[in-house]
Chain A
Amino acid sequence: MTKGLTARERLGEMVAVRDVHDVLVRYCRALDRADLARMETVYWPDGEDVHGIYVGRASEFVPFIISEITRYFTMCTHLVMNVDIKIDGDRAASESYLYSACRVRNGMAEEMLGSRYFGQLAATGLDADHETFVMAGRYLDRFERRDGEWRIKRRMVVSDWNACHPSNQILDEGMHKTLRPIGEWGSGDAAYANELALYGEKN
């Protein structure tokens, strides 16, 4: 793999791996908070995204996905795991396992999940309009480093499985009503005040 290099020579590789990993996590933060400005720093302007629901230029995918995500969902969480990054000079390739949980906005379930599933649920008397699904797959990315900064040049999302269930979410009863704050779209989320640049001002 990288045999023959000294440990110190491999430090540069490890810094690059860390920087690439930061971009992978930043994508999830930008998406889950619907933060357009942050998402614009994830891809190179000439990058591309093959996302199933969208295939094309990253510069067009970014505003598309940030507006669609809040239209379809009231909450979503994108987890990346098993991150395997290979560095080759100013280029990198990575595979990241993805587990995403999305709570579908009322009224959007039929469009999201299709009429067959929606109809079956409604026929059982279950609340077809409150739905949380899990979609799992993998991000396959190619990165480029330009002027010292790593960003995605090309992303492909591979779908491995999904699971759709009526939501059993409890927000205002039992132990769950004590679990605050609740995550939010936008800069009102607690994560923003936890960033070092803001932490001193708000605490």
Chain B
Amino acid sequence: MATTHTPATQTVSDADIEDLVARRDIYSVLTRYCRALDRADVDLMKSVYWPDGSDSHGVFDGNAAEFAEFIVREIQEWFEVTMHAIMNVHMEVDGDRAASETYLFAYHKVREEKAEEIFGSTYMKRFAGKGLDPAHHHFFFGGRYLDQFERRDGEWRIFRREVVMDWNENRPSNEILNEGMFATLRPLGERGPGDPVWGNTP
């Protein structure tokens, strides 16, 4: 809503504007990564990193272009659905370089046949014969992306990413898709070109 309060009166330098523009462009890269992962789009994922960049992701540590191929393939093997939500973006911009810390809250619905591989046997034994839907479990991953960005020819991309895990929480899924209010909630998100986000342009 248009504000009726006294406007801020500080002068804005060109450097301030450059900094704001860089922050917006960097934030767009951070959200593009999440979209590429959650929609399983390998080309979009490759556009997040410089080709000579690197990713230290726990499950993978190495070249970023190889990581893009790896993670977009594996995420579909392991999980039915993922959502990588980012918050608390702290950025420092210095010329053509930037560093950021981004808080991550990520949901993963684990494929039934992958549950033991992903959770380990200690967790799975606890649920044998119990729970409402013991076949399906999800976990939340709480952590942070630590990124180094570079700007080349005017474009910002990640040069180095490291993922820090702060906590995780693992649970029976208890998802309801076809009953009660939830039966009305459509469309459902998809991986690939069928998701409605691709048609949502100005």
Q: Determine whether A101 belongs to the interface, using a CB cutoff of 8 Å to chain B.
A: no
A161-B138 CB under 8 A given contacts A52-B184, A52-B186, A114-B182? yes
| Interface, chain A (partner B; CB < 8 A) | 1, 3, 7-8, 10-11, 14, 17, 22, 26, 41, 52-53, 72, 79, 81-84, 86-89, 91-95, 97, 99, 110-117, 120-121, 124, 135-138, 140-142, 148-149, 156-165, 196-197
Instruction: List the B side residues contacting A136 at CB < 8 Å.
Output: 83, 107
Asked whether A161 lies within 8 Å of B184 as measured between CB atoms, the reply is: no
- The interface bits of chain B over 9-32 (1 if a CB of A lies within 8 angstroms of the residue's CB, else 0) are 000001001101100110010011
Provide the bound-state CA to CA distance between A160 and B87, in Å. 19
* A138 surroundings in chain B (CB, below 8 A): 189, 197
Rounded to whole angstroms, the CA-CA distance of A22 and B178 in the bound complex is: 34
A41 touches B182 (CB 8 A): no
Please determine whether A14 and B24 come into contact, CB atoms closer than 8 angstroms.
yes
Cβ-Cβ contact count across A and B, 8 Å cutoff: 153
A10 to B181, CA, bound (A): 43
Query: Which of A26, A82, A94 is in CB contact (< 8 Å) with B86?
Result: A82
Given A82-B34, A99-B85, verify A22-B21 contact (CB < 8 Å). no
Q: Is the CB of B189 within 8 A of A137?
A: yes
Q: Determine whether the beta carbon of A162 is less than 8 Å from that of B176.
A: yes
**B196, A114: Cβ atoms under 8 Å?**
no
Within 8 Å by CB of B175, from A3, A99, A121, A163, lies A163
